[in-house]
A and B are shown apart, each in its own frame.
Chain A
Amino acid sequence: DQQVKQNSPSLSVQEGRISILNCDYTNSMFDYFLWYKKYPAEGPTFLISISSIKDKNEDGRFTVFLNKSAKHLSLHIVPSQPGDSAVYFCAARSSNSGYALNFGKGTSLLVTP
């Protein structure tokens, strides 16, 4: 059963605009959340993370928001650039139940010039 869900398989955004990628989770024990970015024929790379004790974390153009009551997080990219075109994976972990990261299925972002 998928505990981390990315319900939008793809998203297209114009260069310079905001990209918003969404992620929902079902396991209330998750206490750490991450976003990974993946280009074709490469492995995923870590982008940004957030602990459940926070509701926002920012790193340059990337901001992750966490809404624990809704079991929802989102990744905002502002401004979007063509080089941001990639597949973005949401991941979550529970510190009480092992080391495995649970990944979503990914959202393919296309940033058009």
Chain B
Amino acid sequence: NAGVTQTPKFRVLKTGQSMTLLCAQDMNHEYMYWYRQDPGMGLRLIHYSVGEGTTAKGEVPDGYNVSRLKKQNFLLGLESAAPSQTSVYFCASERGAGELFFGEGSRLTVL
């Protein structure tokens, strides 16, 4: 049982490049989330989804887009990467009552 899998785990981008982070979960959870973690900032919610075909903005959505075409996948896109988007990105799915299962994280560096 893989749980929540994020790809890629590491990526270096140049300013202005685009990329997509993929999150896959095999627990049949409805709710999925993308967070970013920055030093001294804790975890901040970027976007979330409460089911296939639905997405919503979180606390820090600017510069990101998401899609949930299939229940098991939640994609996070950066259309034009900026150095401020250098961060560790965590995807999570929820079993219920706030119990989130997180992936191992994707470390993104934007030069």
Q: Which A residues are closer than 8 A to B by beta carbons?
A: 4, 6, 9, 32, 34, 36, 41-46, 49, 89, 91, 93, 98-101, 103-106
- The answer on a CB contact under 8 Å between A101 and B45 is yes
- The answer on a CB contact under 8 Å between B92 and A43 is yes
Interface of B is mostly: strand
For B, the interface residue count at a CB cutoff of 8 angstroms equals 27
Besides A41-B104, A41-B105, A43-B105, 18 new A-B residue pairs in contact (Cβ under 8 A), listed by A number: A4-B42, A34-B99, A36-B100, A43-B90, A43-B102, A43-B103, A46-B101, A49-B97, A89-B42, A98-B56, A99-B50, A100-B33, A100-B58, A100-B59, A101-B45, A101-B98, A105-B40, A105-B42
What chain A residues lie within 8 Å of B105 (beta carbons)?
Answer: 41-43
What chain B residues lie within 8 Å of A93 (beta carbons)?
Answer: 98
- The answer on a CB contact under 8 Å between A101 and B100 is yes
**Whole-angstrom CA separation of A34 from B99 in the bound complex:** 8
Instruction: Flag B1-45 by CB within 8 Å of A: 1 or 0 each.
Output: 000100000000000000000000000000101010000111111
